[in-house]
Amino acid sequence: MGVDIGNATTEVAIGKIEAEQEFNFIAEGEHQTTGLKGTEENIKGIMNALQQAVQEADLKLEDLDLIRLNEATPVIGDVAMETITETIITESTMIGHNPSTPGGVGLGVGKTVMITELDSCSAGEEVIVVIPAEIDFAIAAENINEGLARGIEVNGAIVQKDDAVLIANRIDKQMPIVDEVKFIDKVPLDRKAAVEVASSGGTIQELTNPYGIATVFDLDADETKHIVPVARSLIGNHSAVVIRTPQGDIEEKRIPAGKIIAFGESGKEKIAVDQGAEEIMKSIEKVQPLKDVKGESGTNVSGMLERVRSKMKQVTGQNLSDIKIKDILAVDTFVPQEVKGGLAGEHSLENAVGLAAMVETSQLPMQQIADALVQELPEVEIEIAGVEANMAISGALTTPGTDKPIVILDMGGGSTDAAVLTQEGNIHTAHLSGAGNMVSMIIETELGLEDFDLAERIKKTPLAKVESMFNIRHEDGTVHFYDEPLAPQLFSKVVSLDEGELVPIPTDHSMKRIRQVRRDAKKDVFVRNAVRALKRTIPTGNIRDIGFVVMVGGSALDFEIPELISNELSNYGVVAGRGNIRGMMGPRNAVATGLVLSYLNNPRWN
Amino acid sequence: MTTQNINGNKPMIYIFITSDYKDSELVAHIGYGIEEEGIPFKTFVQEKNNSQELAYNAAQNSSLGIGLGVTSEDQVVLQMAKLSKENPVFNKTLNSNEQAKKMGSNAARMVKGLPFKSFKSEE
């Protein structure tokens, strides 16, 4: 029996020697890895997977002769996100949010006046009325009409509740009305403001144009330069309010996120995180092979890197100073963040860098696990056998249609591991940071989900849009009809298809956008890592020199990651695909299978 | 689709109510919800006092296929023409004008193909 403890899953395979030098695989089992890989907590998961397998084989645990544990690759990865820009509105100069139903149409300019103070305005004055939630829309409309009758030029309205259309329908003049302004008490009064609502289907034109804003507020050339971020942030909106206050400003700041210091065999590179992923990766490649990576002390990056280190210390009991970071993967992303000083809870997309770091130690304490397992199963012999990469290759080669030279890409949750078996029978390995967990993190942050499980679900399942009470449209455009009406809470929602079950995704993002984010995240992590892994493991460094790439591990089960990688690698003339261990197990069970098979090459049977 | 046209073929959401709801604030707020979303609607007083029945008939008669029924104790049912009488979209006792407005919005959002608003208060 072979037991493979992975970062996420523990897999087992039971083989029986039928004839001489011939194994017959009789059962498999798998269970979520309990605790961090390489700790005694793993026992629970191992036992569960074992039970599952022996039951399937109609055996008892005592019937097992030998259990071979993998000598797990001692790598642990962690991920983090650093925001590197931030948008701050000082003195509340603009409201760039997108209520679903603004009222009226056009551009209105005037001085902001509380609706209750409209009485004190004189004829001919140009005003924008501000209507808080406690004022009923009917009364507000009446007040506006009275004001208009008295000759006050009411040119627009800013409303707290979702009442814009209701007011627009009840007043005697067409004017732009923006509603659902959450923090209406923050709207400065007695200031010049511009309100714009686009005609149906259109986007605003004047307030997205710096010169448009300059015209409205009589700005000089210098001031116009300052309002560019305002104009930019409003692009694509259906409605907007801009209010000019004396010190009012909006700025996009770069946050100093700290520096990464990469120590390589051939020197040292220092790179600021806010330079972005591209520059970070270039520096890392420059100093390959990496010896260690540190963060500038006192910064967020250093905090993150230290976290990975201390996690590893827990597992291995090694000194912090002995734990080295051997790889980093940086990816550029965006994080929607609430704008500081905003009035309507508006968000702006800030630049961020996602980082995955991976540490390697000398060895995980597998012997402790083996000892603990003996306690559980005193009748069974237990041994630690073989390097994980060799076992994985041996297992992967059971995939029909493969041959040397072969590369296996083991794509898990925490790291992407590669091993190459050359024509001559030599094995080279590489461990890269960045895998499934990083994809989930990118999805979580780019869509602003604040829910890792939801991000995992989006990563793992295709999307559909509920189009009516009876049908959904899959992301590939095909339509599926249901006999029974769907639940109302699903209506018009984007859903994930979890084994046929429709689970609504609680965001306003379109299906197209979610799909794009998901696929880009997978490309940024896995396709990037596949190429990096091949370049590092293949002795010549040339991807064309390899014949076969077999993808194994949890992320190879993904419905699109293997396709994305196959696609990229076909550019190099490589056969790449999802493994099918023993012609039946799919990309699962490679190491467990290898552990069983390798026994034949090294029999200690007595 | 319609069995009888009360108001020609204009696309409208129909609200069928019992006579005691003629001047009801609640029904007015359902209307505000629909109006804010920009969909036309019309209210009719009916004899029957079964909100599921009223909503079903309203939906059958509306050329948009969307109807609401309101009966005693603020029982409101939102129905679409293709659903069975027993399985409406919403069947809910409304306990505030705010909820009534949301029910109206949701009727309209059904027409527009937008996700429903939650009835839970935002605060």
Residue B93 lies in a domain: yes
Structure tokens at A516: 């794009």
**What is the mean pLDDT of the segment spanning A360-387?**
80
Q: Which of A442, A408, A427, A431 is nearest to A333 (CA)?
A: A442
Quote the CA–CA distance of A305 and A430 in Å, as a whole number.
20
Q: Looking at the 3D structure of chain B, how many domains does it have?
A: 1
Low-confidence ranges of chain B (pLDDT < 50): 1-5, 123
- Complex ipTM: 0.86
A169 touching B, CB under 8 A? yes
Q: Which of A284, A329, A336, A364 is nearest to A509 (CA)?
A: A336
* Record: contact B38-A491, CB cut-off 8 A: no
* Record: contact A492-B113, CB cut-off 8 A: yes
Residues 77-106 of A with CB under 8 A from B: 100-101
Residue B38 lies in a domain: yes
Residue B53 lies in a domain: yes
* Statement: residue A284 has pLDDT above 70: yes
Q: How confident is the model at residue A605 (pLDDT cuts 50, 70, 90)?
A: very low
* Statement: residue A82 has pLDDT above 80: no
Closest chain A CA to residue B89: A488
**What is the mean pLDDT of the segment spanning A120-130?**
94
Task: Name the helix (H) or strand (E) containing A428.
Answer: strand A427-433
Residues of B in contact with A492 (CB under 8 A): 109, 113-116
Residue B54 lies in a domain: yes
Residue in B32, B36, B84, B111 to test binding to A, most A beta-carbons within 10 Å: B36
Residues B6/B15, Cβ–Cβ less than 8 Å: no
pLDDT at residue A363, as a whole number? 61
pLDDT at residue B3, as a whole number? 45
Query: 3-state class of A366 per DSSP?
Result: helix
pLDDT at residue A247, as a whole number? 62
Residue B37 lies in a domain: yes
A488 touching B, CB under 8 A? yes
Residues 81-110 of B with CB under 8 A from A: 82-83, 87, 89-90, 105, 109-110
Partner residue facing A488 (CB), from B36, B38, B90: B90
CA A488 to chain B, closest CA, distance in angstroms equals 6
Residues of A in contact with B110 (CB under 8 A): 491
* Statement: residue A604 has pLDDT above 50: no
Residue B1: burial class (beta carbons within 10 Å; 0-12, 13-18, 19+): exposed
Quote the CA–CA distance of B53 and B61 in Å, as a whole number.
12
**What is the mean pLDDT of the segment spanning A564-589?**
92
* Record: contact A101-B32, CB cut-off 8 A: no
Closest chain A CA to residue B87: A485
Residues 27-46 of B with CB under 8 A from A: 32, 35-38
Structure tokens at A145: 């009409």
CA B118 to chain A, closest CA, distance in angstroms equals 9
**What is the mean pLDDT of the segment spanning A264-271?**
88
B114 touching A, CB under 8 A? yes
Structure tokens at A222: 């210098």
CA A235 to chain B, closest CA, distance in angstroms equals 23
B25 touching A, CB under 8 A? no
CA A512 to chain B, closest CA, distance in angstroms equals 16
* Statement: residue A75 has pLDDT above 80: no
pLDDT at residue B12, as a whole number? 94
β-bridge partners, A23? A17
Q: How confident is the model at residue A89 (pLDDT cuts 50, 70, 90)?
A: low
* Statement: residue A29 has pLDDT above 60: yes
Partner residue facing A166 (CB), from B32, B83, B110: B32
CATH number assigned to the domain comprising residue B47: 3.40.50.10150
DSSP string, A108-176: EEEEEEEGGGGGG--TT-EEEEEE-TTS-HHHHHHHHHHHHHTT-EEEEEEESSS-HHHHHTTSSS---
pTM: 0.82
Residues A244/A192, Cβ–Cβ less than 8 Å: yes
Residue B18 lies in a domain: yes
- For A494-510, the pLDDT digits (tens) are 999 888 889 999 888 89
* Statement: residue A90 has pLDDT above 50: yes
Task: Name the helix (H) or strand (E) containing A107.
Answer: strand A106-114
> Count of A–B CB contacts within 8 Å?
42
Long-range contacts, stretch A530-534, CB < 8 angstroms, 24+ apart: A530/A409, A530/A416, A530/A565, A530/A568, A530/A569, A530/A576, A531/A568, A532/A432, A533/A407, A533/A409, A533/A416, A533/A417, A533/A418, A533/A430, A533/A432, A534/A407, A534/A418, A534/A569
Residues of B in contact with A162 (CB under 8 A): 36, 105
Residue B1 lies in a domain: no
Average pLDDT taken over every residue of chain A: 86
Domain interval for residue B78: 13-118
pLDDT at residue B2, as a whole number? 41
Residues A213/A192, Cβ–Cβ less than 8 Å: no
pLDDT at residue A172, as a whole number? 95
Residue B44 lies in a domain: yes
* Record: contact B35-A166, CB cut-off 8 A: yes
Structure tokens at A583: 């012609």
- For A229-241, the pLDDT digits (tens) are 778 778 888 888 8
* Statement: residue A143 has pLDDT above 80: yes
Residues A492/A486, Cβ–Cβ less than 8 Å: no
A509 touching B, CB under 8 A? no
